Amino acid sequence: MIPFSLLDLSPIGEGYSVSEALGQSARLAVKAEEQGYRRVWLAEHHGMPGIASAATAIVIGHIGAATKSIRIGSGGVMLPNHSPLVVAEQFGTLEALFPGRVDLGLGRAPGTDMRTASALRRNLEAGAESFPHDILELQRLLGAPEANQSLLAVPGMNTNIPIWLLGSSIYSAHLAAALGLPYAFASHFAPDMLMEAISIYRDRFQPSAELDRPYVTVGVMGVAAETDREAERLFTSSQQQFVNLRKNVRNAFPKPLDSMDGFWTPMEKMSVEHTLRYAAVGSVATIEEKLGAFLEETEADELIISMPIHDIDARLHSVELFASLSLMEKQPNSTLSLLRA
């Protein structure tokens, strides 16, 4: 049994407004808390009509206000898009509002297309190269100030918010190991380097003041329903979205289809099914079998699930069905620190 968590992209479903999408995210977090999930993370994406979490720290505050104990955070903030000081102040504010509940997951991708990344004032090459330095600066800003330290994050200093590294390649595995930080791999959309990255992280991990042993979270897309057929129908929303992304078609998160036949080409089908090959889609029995094999293979410490379901009631029911799995370690008190849980 391991903890389950949720990754919420705050999807703007076809036929819904941004306000409704953000309201649905709050309902999802409340349901996750009720069902014993460990944490809910929001992800930073820009320029995508189907995702409402661009202002990630603000949405995390919205989720925190709707819940009481579940951990909240970013999965992640794309650090090269921001100065470390701004991130420290934002997450220091969140920690002041929701003490002991905040996680700061960091990535180095832009979270958008190159034109939008430039509009964010991101220096693409310098941002990626300074990523390790910016992480160290963030740690200093969130820690206890040193004597005569001139740059202070207020709020932020003395919060020691847990920092995670997120990744979809071996670069982040090397860096997380060297810095002794917890590591979350984006296997829900980037499966190819999963096992290599986990192996590198565990083999090269250096204990730190934050973490004394490796801690790995792995991601899956998850859609649970009463029957395999209904879950597969609900999952067509995500399959359509991935086809659209490959065509650079930017739409709201689509309604499900009875069949993907006629929507995708054979090559698109092969590509999307490869990308989403770790997806856990089906009835409780089907998901239990697939996730059991996946967790045995990865030996993960935690599972984070993205539930790409258009209808909010079906999404909430999926949260309940995943919570009924014998694999899930439910959290009686989600305010436990990651490092002491």
pLDDT score, position 114: 73
pLDDT grade for 336, boundaries at 50, 70 and 90: very low
Q: What count of Cα atoms within 13 Å lies in the side-chain half-sphere of residue 82?
A: 23
List the one residue out of 269, 185, 188 whose CA is nearest residue 223: 188
* Greatest C-alpha distance within the chain: 66
Q: Of the candidates 163, 179, 172, 162, which has an alpha carbon nearest to the alpha carbon of residue 198?
A: 172
pLDDT 10s digits, 56-94: 999 999 999 999 999 999 998 999 889 999 999 999 999
Provide the pLDDT for residue 34.
96
On the question of pLDDT at 112 being above 80, the answer is: no
pLDDT range class, residue 128, cuts 50, 70, 90: low
Residue 127 binned pLDDT confidence (cut-offs 50, 70, 90): low
Mean pLDDT, rounded, for 185-206: 95
pLDDT over 90 (residue 167): yes
Cα–Cα distance, 285 to 260 (Å, whole number): 24
Q: What is the percentage of the chain residues whose pLDDT exceeds 90?
A: 84
Segment 183-202 shows an average pLDDT of 95
Identify the pLDDT of residue 335.
39
pLDDT-derived band of residue 338, with 50, 70 and 90 as boundaries? very low
Domain ranges of the chain: 4-340
Enter the pTM of the model: 0.93
Q: Is 94 left (phi over 0), alpha (psi -120 to 50) or beta?
A: alpha
Stretch among 97-106, 109-118, 253-262, 282-291 having the lowest mean pLDDT: 109-118
Average pLDDT over residues 21-28: 98
Q: Terminus-to-terminus CA distance in the chain, angstroms? A: 14
Give the homologous superfamily in CATH for domain 4-340. Luciferase-like domain (3.20.20.30)
The DSSP secondary-structure symbol of 81 reads G
Per-residue pLDDT band for 292 (boundaries 50, 70, 90) equals very high
As a whole number of angstroms, the distance between CA 225 and CA 77 comes to: 31
Residue 282 has pLDDT above 60, yes or no: yes
Which are the contacts of 280, defined by CB distance < 8 A and separation ≥ 6?
220, 221, 222, 223, 224, 287, 290, 291, 294, 305
Q: Which residues contact 325 (CB under 8 A, 6 or more apart)?
A: 4, 284, 287, 288, 291
Q: Please give the Cα distance from 25 to 27 (Å, whole number).
A: 5
What was the pLDDT predicted at 116? 74
Percent of the chain with pLDDT over 70: 94
Could you give the 3-state DSSP secondary structure of residue 191?
Answer: coil
| Per-residue pLDDT at 340 | 34
Local structure of residue 254 (DSSP, 8 states): P
**38-47, 123-132, 250-259, 307-316, range with the lowest pLDDT:** 123-132
Mean pLDDT of the chain: 93
Are residues 3 and 331 in contact, defined by beta-carbon separation less than 8 angstroms? yes
What's the rounded mean pLDDT across residues 122-143? Answer: 84
Q: Which residues pair with 219 in a beta bridge?
A: 304
pLDDT of residue 126: 62
Cis peptide before 214 (omega within 30 of 0): no
